[in-house]
């Protein structure tokens, strides 16, 4: 029933989108040729020339555009979501991507077909209007669905099989999102007491009573939420649920130690669940990121050559010793490498330096060293590390071997950060986790970055670094 309802909803989306695209074309034509004359709209979209052509002239183009855009909407999933529980923001982002792709295709088509009587401003206006109307239509659809479900109509009736941490998390999310329209009748379990209750959800029977209940009660779905130590019962319970014809879900009781978006691959017919999705294990993604690193670090070294030379001279004058400071850090694949900085302290005993954190008002830091540490200018030589391939422009910050050994025993999942190249800046740093801040908070942000990496996220982090990431108030 649920899958069928979602299929109907997606078909409705497609139909509504086709109508919206046609409406956008009509409104764009009206604005371009009638309402937009001598107005701020004409200035905004650079209306030039006079193509006094009726809307009927563009009918074939509109039909072709509808087909192309609907295909793009399908390609840039989840414009048409596979489930109705995902966030609407992802739909909007992909809707924008689809319209930008359509704008690109339309621009190329105009050039290749030499449509001299097709104003470019009309194309830009159409995709702008279409995106706005697409957003409004999705907002309206979600509002209507949410209001009907919150009022108790169009509910989906569910029972849980087994009570575990995953069952509690499942109930918590349903209670927090009444617009999903899920109504839980109760729990079947052998391990909890008969008067058990969690957030108003009660035990309604034992596992061996499930088959009779399903045969007598019309339900939309069964969610199997067994404890890990009860998984030997799973095959039998799935068979019972499928025999009843009820849609069955499996909510595994390992979400607290597996990432939020594990992925499944097919090993010659055998499904294999990867515990953690790391987009940068993909060859294409690695090549794209490494290309940006090479170009970015090379440009940075050229642009910053003169400032770096001035800093080097000031470092040399600030205290005796070398200009650069090389420190061993742990990088991709747990391999050590030498990370370079401008020296900000007096020359230290390497054995002591490797085991000590910098303290507030640390006497080892020179006055000029304090300035370049506070402004992150001491990090500039790391562009050379990026060019060499030791580091990336963006990634988790690398740590010294001694502290890696310490943290990997104390902090769960700490070593996952070494599945990608360390970075000059990262998601944790632009969110305030720099210097003497929470290691656990830093790791949580690093894990988010590793599991959700995209080139656009890298550019966002670089942008935030430029505008708020250089000054490090936690640098001593």
Residue 262 in domain: no
Residue at a domain's end among 133, 150, 167: 150
Q: Measured between alpha carbons, how far is 454 from 462 in angstroms, rounded to an integer?
A: 13
pTM, two decimals, is 0.59
Q: Are residues 313 and 434 in the same domain?
A: yes
Q: Are residues 145 and 160 in the same domain?
A: no
Compute the CA torsion angle 128, 130, 136, 138 (nearest 10 deg): -130
In 3D space, the residue among 123, 63, 83, 115 whose CA is nearest the CA of residue 99 turns out to be: 123
End-to-end CA distance of the chain: 61
Helix axis angle, 2-30 relative to 120-150, nearest 10°? 140
Residue 438 in domain: yes
Burial class for 27, CB neighbours closer than 10 Å (0-12, 13-18, 19+): middle
pLDDT, tens digit only, all 476 positions of the chain: 444 555 566 677 788 999 999 999 999 888 877 765 555 555 554 444 445 566 777 788 889 899 999 888 887 765 555 555 555 567 788 888 889 988 888 888 877 776 656 677 788 889 999 999 999 988 888 788 777 766 666 678 999 999 998 899 899 988 888 777 788 999 999 999 999 999 999 999 999 999 999 999 888 899 999 988 888 898 899 999 888 888 898 888 876 666 666 777 778 878 887 777 788 988 889 999 999 999 999 999 999 999 999 999 999 888 888 999 999 999 998 999 999 999 888 776 665 555 555 656 666 778 888 888 888 898 999 999 999 999 999 999 999 998 899 888 888 788 889 999 999 999 998 888 876 667 888 888 998 899 889 998 999 999 888 876 566 555 54
Q: Are residues 146 and 166 in the same domain?
A: no
Q: Are residues 127 and 173 in the same domain?
A: no
In 3D space, the residue among 299, 392, 381 whose CA is nearest the CA of residue 339 turns out to be: 381
Residue 278 in domain: no
Question: Strands 263-267 and 247-250: what pairing?
Answer: unpaired
Q: Are residues 161 and 141 in the same domain?
A: no
Q: Measured between alpha carbons, how far is 31 from 34 in angstroms, rounded to an integer?
A: 6
Residue at a domain's end among 127, 150, 173: 150
Number of domains in the chain: 3
Residue at a domain's end among 150, 180, 202: 150
Q: Are residues 420 and 460 in the same domain?
A: yes
Q: Are residues 384 and 361 in the same domain?
A: yes
Q: Are residues 464 and 373 in the same domain?
A: yes
Q: Are residues 240 and 318 in the same domain?
A: no
Residue 15 in domain: yes
Q: Are residues 171 and 145 in the same domain?
A: no
Q: What share of the chain is helix, strand, coil (3-state, %, to 5)?
A: 55, 15, 30
Range of the domain at 437: 283-469
| pLDDT value for 258 | 67
Residue 272 in domain: no
In b/e form, how buried is each residue of 328-355, taking b as 16+ CB within 10 angstroms?
ebbbbeeeebebbbbbbbeeeeeeeeee
Residue 309 in domain: yes
Say which residue the tokens 């490797």 belong to: 354
| pLDDT value for 171 | 93
Residue 271 in domain: no
Query: How many Cα neighbours within 13 Å face the side chain of 346?
Result: 6
In 3D space, the residue among 359, 380, 378, 214 whose CA is nearest the CA of residue 305 turns out to be: 380
Q: Are residues 178 and 142 in the same domain?
A: no
Q: Measured between alpha carbons, how far is 132 from 55 in angstroms, rounded to an integer?
A: 21
Q: Are residues 33 and 177 in the same domain?
A: no
Q: Measured between alpha carbons, how far is 344 from 341 in angstroms, rounded to an integer?
A: 8
């Amino acid at each position: 029933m649920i899958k069928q309802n979602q299929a109907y909803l997606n078909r409705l989306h497609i139909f509504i989108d086709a109508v919206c695209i046609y409406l956008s074309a009509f409104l764009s034509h009206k604005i371009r040729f009638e309402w937009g004359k001598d107005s701020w709209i004409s200035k905004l979209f650079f209306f030039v020339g006079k193509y006094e052509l009726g809307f009927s002239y563009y009918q074939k183009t509109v039909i072709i555009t509808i087909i192309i855009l609907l295909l793009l909407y399908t390609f840039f999933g989840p414009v048409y979501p596979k489930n109705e529980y995902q966030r609407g923001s992802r739909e909007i982002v992909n809707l924008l991507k689809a319209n930008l792709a359509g704008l690109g295709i339309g621009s190329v088509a105009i050039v290749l077909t030499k449509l001299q009587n097709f104003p470019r401003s009309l194309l830009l206006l159409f995709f702008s209007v279409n995106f706005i109307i697409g957003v409004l239509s999705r907002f309206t659809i979600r509002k209507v669905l949410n209001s009907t479900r919150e009022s108790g109509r169009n509910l989906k009736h569910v029972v849980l099989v087994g009570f575990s941490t995953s069952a509690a998390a499942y109930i918590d999310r349903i209670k927090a999102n009444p617009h999903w329209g899920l109504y839980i009748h109760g729990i079947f379990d052998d391990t909890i007491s008969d008067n058990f209750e969690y957030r108003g959800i009660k035990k309604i029977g034992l596992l061996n009573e499930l088959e009779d209940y399903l045969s007598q009660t019309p339900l939309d779905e069964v969610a199997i939420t067994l404890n890990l130590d009860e998984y030997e019962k799973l095959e039998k319970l799935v068979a019972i649920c499928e025999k009843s014809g009820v849609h069955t879900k499996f909510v595994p009781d390992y979400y607290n130690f597996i990432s939020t978006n594990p992925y499944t691959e097919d090993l010659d017919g055998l499904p294999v669940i990867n515990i953690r999705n790391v987009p940068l294990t993909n060859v294409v993604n690695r090549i794209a990121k490494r290309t940006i690193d090479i170009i970015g670090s090379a440009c940075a070294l050229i642009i910053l050559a003169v400032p770096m030379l001035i800093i080097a001279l000031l470092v040399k004058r600030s205290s005796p010793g070398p200009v650069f400071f090389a420190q061993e850090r742990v990088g991709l694949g747990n391999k050590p490498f030498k990370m370079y900085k401008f020296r900000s302290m007096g020359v230290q005993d390497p054995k002591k330096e490797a085991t000590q954190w910098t303290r507030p008002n640390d006497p080892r830091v020179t006055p000029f060293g304090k300035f370049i540490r506070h402004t992150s200018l001491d990090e500039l030589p790391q562009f050379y590390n990026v060019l060499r391939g030791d580091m990336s422009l963006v990634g988790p910050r690398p740590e010294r071997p001694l502290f890696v050994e310490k943290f990997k025993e104390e902090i769960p999942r700490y070593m996952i950060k070494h599945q990608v190249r360390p970075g000059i800046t990262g998601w944790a740093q632009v969110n305030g986790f720099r210097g003497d801040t929470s290691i656990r908070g830093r790791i949580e942000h690093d894990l988010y970055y590793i599991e959700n990496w995209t080139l656009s996220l890298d550019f966002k982090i670089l942008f935030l670094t430029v505008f708020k990431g250089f000054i490090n108030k936690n640098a001593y």
